[in-house]
Structure 1
Amino acid sequence: MALDLSPLHPQVKRCSELYGPNQYPDSAEFIQTVNQHYQLSLEVGLKLLKAMAIALGEEEDFFTNSFSYPISVLRLIHYPAQKEATNGAGAHTDYGCITLLYQDDSGGLQVQNVDGDWIDAVPIAGSLVVNIGDLMQRWTNGIYQSTPHRVTSPISGKTRFSMPFFVEPDFDTPISTLPSCITQQTPKVFEDTFAGEWILSRFEQTYTYRNEIE
């Protein structure tokens, strides 16, 4: 689910692929719960972005100024039990700014460290995992590095549930490397883009069925 907007909203008319009404099951309680969770997760994400801006020497609201109509997404994922260990989600990086991950105690998330080793992200009660995504890496010239990660499917009759919240800014947000992140030792690496344009390009590359002609 994403930001719930009427089909008549101007943003939906501009980009119906990333804006629009959510498709809910027939449960008022479920709708209320997930919308509350979406809003609270977004608030947590914005607080983290403020801290990250301050750490870079920018104004506190540098990143959060771009969240009037964010294309942030909440996913509820179920990994069914498998007979043998497999990748429930192959190695990848996330597309947006940061990702907040709520997971149960089954484990399975692995994060790649700077040496290329895969490290188990052991669940810690009362906490969440924070991944840095591609847009943030581009915005900061790699000072904040996008985090490669993967998920192993559970075995022995167990299942795994996770709820990633992808913190992504407005569709029209220009992503241009911060001047403060460019030096003679670290010249600009990434070309300028727009948040929505980048997200859609990643969808096209990742989900090949989108390119199939019926």
Structure 2
Amino acid sequence: MSAEFSVPTVDIGPYVTAGSAAERAQVAAALDAACREVGFIQIVGHGVDPAVIAGLAGAMDDFFALTLAEKKQYVLPPSKNRGYSPPKSESLSYSIGVDSVTRMNDFFEAFNVGASAADYPGAGLSTDDYAENVWPEVAGYETRVSTYYDEASRVAQTLIRIFEDALKVEPGYLEALTDHSIDVMRMNNYALPEGEIELGAELTGMGEHTDFGIVTVLWADQVDGLQVLDSDGQWHDVSPADDAFLINLGDVAARLTNDQWASTLHRVKPPIVNGTIKRRRSAAFFHDGNADAIVGPLPHFVPEGEEPHYEPVTVKEHIVAKLSGSRAGKKNVGGLREAARLNAAAQ
């Protein structure tokens, strides 16, 4: 794969605008092929208004322009997975049980919002799993971010419907695993100031990791930095096409398909162009699944006579282990398959 690596582009319009059954079948087949072969996909035809994306970007700029002391007012305990994360406060590689190559934490800063228990009235959910959001006192921030969040959620739910067709499971199967999904949107700012930088410096924007849940919807600047690991153990630069979102699979998708759809290993390196570091922003919407959903390989993805790659686990148990690595500094010993892929690439 290495010599001809590319990220496929899939137009999901037939699922957004009520296309024909034949058109939807073509989309599902294209997505299935991309998930098996690459694990990263560019999607177009998603229907998100560019003005909504511009609103998100403006809100991010307004918040990240605050002083560090002002931003630190919104730091919450790591278990909440909400609020502000200062630079060098996390190490994403720990979420798969791997030491950072540089032994220094990742230099990005972030702000997280997500689904709260109040978003699913009547479900009796715990705020331990569905924490309340904290909103900074920045004019229009909550409105602009929430508007984009709702659109990203809609795109993720559309992808779930496509996944059901692609995986040939009964309609509603995956929706039942996500009807009170742990959804989190992480807005990232790669916080080294723009300017000259020593090219030999060992810097990590965001360490090697896989995402936790089913699917991630990513908006990002068209600035280099994001890299994806292919099946041959080679890293490749990936940047969103015009008007496209980047989509990648998370660990829950890998569990459901017994690794036929692989959770995508990726990282962010400092975006250096002609010796100068460029600012890079991204917003990742993580559609993780219900906290109490038990996920393991679907029977038709386990060959007869073979043991499945994964034992069943709840989405909550899996996410807690991953967060304990990235945000609390405790290596996730459950990330053996992901760590093995990364270590093989390092060789």
* Contact 2:270 2:277 (8 Å CA) reproduced: no
Residue identity matched to 2:314: F
- After TM superposition, the structure 1 = structure 2 runs for residues 21-60 of structure 1, keeping only pairs within 5 Å, are 21-27=132-138, 29-60=140-171
Taking the aligned partners of 1:122 and 1:202, their CA distance within structure 2 comes to 26
Give the secondary structure class of the aligned counterpart of 1:164. strand
Taking the aligned partners of 1:21 and 1:206, their CA distance within structure 2 comes to 20
Taking the aligned partners of 1:135 and 1:98, their CA distance within structure 2 comes to 8
Residue identity matched to 2:180: Y
* 2:296 matches 1:176: yes
Deviation, 1:186, is: 5.5
Gaps of 5+ in 2: 1-112, 332-347
Equivalent position to 2:250, from 92, 113, 133: 133
Deviation, 1:210, is: 6.6
Indicate the larger mover: 32-41 or 188-197.
Answer: 32-41
- After TM superposition, the structure 1 = structure 2 runs for residues 8-87 of structure 1, keeping only pairs within 5 Å, are 10-13=124-127, 16=128, 18-27=129-138, 29-81=140-192, 83-84=197-198, 86-87=203-204
Deviations along 1:146-181, one digit per CA (max 9) or x if unpaired, are 001010123415211000111111110110211111
Residue identity matched to 1:11: L
Taking the aligned partners of 1:105 and 1:81, their CA distance within structure 2 comes to 17
Taking the aligned partners of 2:306 and 2:260, their CA distance within structure 1 comes to 10
- After TM superposition, the structure 1 = structure 2 runs for residues 103-114 of structure 1, keeping only pairs within 5 Å, are 103-114=220-231
Deviations along 1:72-113, one digit per CA (max 9) or x if unpaired, are 100110002362463201111111111111100112100011
Residue identity matched to 2:178: F
Deviations along 1:188-210, one digit per CA (max 9) or x if unpaired, are 11000001111001112333447
* Contact 1:80 1:154 (8 Å CA) reproduced: no
Equivalent position to 1:2, from 99, 103, 114: 114
Aligned partner of 2:233 in structure 1 is: 116
Taking the aligned partners of 2:326 and 2:232, their CA distance within structure 1 comes to 25
Taking the aligned partners of 1:76 and 1:208, their CA distance within structure 2 comes to 19
Deviation, 1:184, is: 2.6
Gap change, CA 1:81 and 1:206, over 3 Å in 2: closer
Residue identity matched to 2:125: Q
Indicate the larger mover: 106-115 or 74-83.
Answer: 74-83
Deviations along 1:103-134, one digit per CA (max 9) or x if unpaired, are 00112100011111101102311001111111
* Contact 2:295 2:313 (8 Å CA) reproduced: yes
Deviation, 1:145, is: 0.6
Taking the aligned partners of 1:167 and 1:147, their CA distance within structure 2 comes to 15
Residue identity matched to 1:3: A
Taking only aligned residues, the RMSD between alpha carbons, in angstroms, comes to: 2.2
Residue identity matched to 1:173: A
Q: Which aligned runs of 4 or more in structure 1 are off by greater than 6 angstroms?
A: none
* Contact 1:107 1:123 (8 Å CA) reproduced: no
Gap change, CA 1:209 and 1:117, over 3 Å in 2: closer
* Equivalent pairs, count: 207
Deviation, 1:140, is: 1.2
Gaps of 5+ in 1: none
Give the secondary structure class of the aligned counterpart of 2:158. helix
Taking the aligned partners of 2:285 and 2:206, their CA distance within structure 1 comes to 16
Which structure: greater helix fraction? 2
Deviation, 1:40, is: 1.2
Aligned partner of 1:165 in structure 2 is: 285
Equivalent position to 2:271, from 141, 144, 154: 154
Taking the aligned partners of 1:134 and 1:106, their CA distance within structure 2 comes to 26
Identical amino acids, percent of aligned pairs: 28
TM-score if structure 2 supplies the norm length? Answer: 0.56
Which structure: larger Rg?
2
Deviation, 1:46, is: 1.3
Aligned partner of 2:212 in structure 1 is: 95
